[in-house]
Chain A
Amino acid sequence: QSALTQPASVSGSPGQSITISCTGTSSDIGGTNYVSWYQQYPGKAPKLMIFDVTNRPSGVSNRFSGSKSGNTASLTISGLQGEDEADYYCNSYTSHGSWVFGGGTKVTVL
């Protein structure tokens, strides 16, 4: 199975909004609502930010939101802050019963 496609890097200034895309196929993102997003700092375990396309776990800032259209899922970070500088990964269930991650996006706060 091929990794989902994410941009290698996205940047923005404090206070701005940025969106990270995650493109798959009809066999993964396009065919399921089991899409999640993770934030990872260097040397740390990933942290769940969004699950089931749009749901935010308790404790995650409402500045983070998720959406999906066709075979592409998106993570939007509004009111960008310095602490948002991290790597972000999307993850999707597939029609084969397996899971696939995106290649990861490095977010830089200018």
Chain B
Amino acid sequence: QLQLQESGPGLVKPSETLSLTCTVSDDSITTGNYCWAWIRQPPGKGLEWIANMCYTGTTYYNPSLKSRVTISADTSKRQFSLMLTSVTAADSAVYYCARRTAYTSRRDFWGQGTLVTVSS
């Protein structure tokens, strides 16, 4: 069974950069037709799609975050990452990584989520 695990600091200061990594338990990040996404959920609020990178290397970003977000992958480590610059308290959220089968909406594997708080 595929597992995804988010990692990164739980506390980030305002104006700094949030960096998270998602580690994938199998080779699907290199061998399959998948897209890898970051999704976040502020406490008590709904889900927000941030970005994804597909097996082709193509990246897509939420237009409202595009100027601050970068998604990248290190397939040799079976990892993909998120960088969000110039964070504010509004970026405090549980951040999830997830896998979607390309050319479908089948996003069937998610990490457990990691809480990131932006505070000085």
Contact = CB atoms under 8 A, between A and B. Distances in A.
A57 B106 contact: yes
Contacts of B57: none
Contacts, number: 65
A35 B106 CA distance: 9
Contact-residue bracket for chain A: 20 to 34
Nearest to B60: A97
Contact-residue bracket for chain B: 20 to 34
Contact of A91 (B49, B61, B104): B49
A51 interface: yes
Interface string B52-72: 100000001111100000000
A45 B106 contact: no
Nearest to A58: B108
Nearest to A48: B108
Contact of A98 (B46, B49, B108, B112): B49
A102 B110 contact: no
A45 B47 contact: no
A36 B105 contact: yes
B31 to A, nearest CB: 21
A36 B112 CA distance: 19
A45 B107 CA distance: 12
Interface string B75-90: 0000000000000000
B14 interface: no
Nearest to A96: B63
Question: What are the nearest 9 A-B pairs in CB distance?
Answer: A34-B105, A36-B105, A45-B110, A51-B106, A99-B49, A104-B46, A101-B47, A48-B108, A51-B105
A48 B100 CA distance: 11
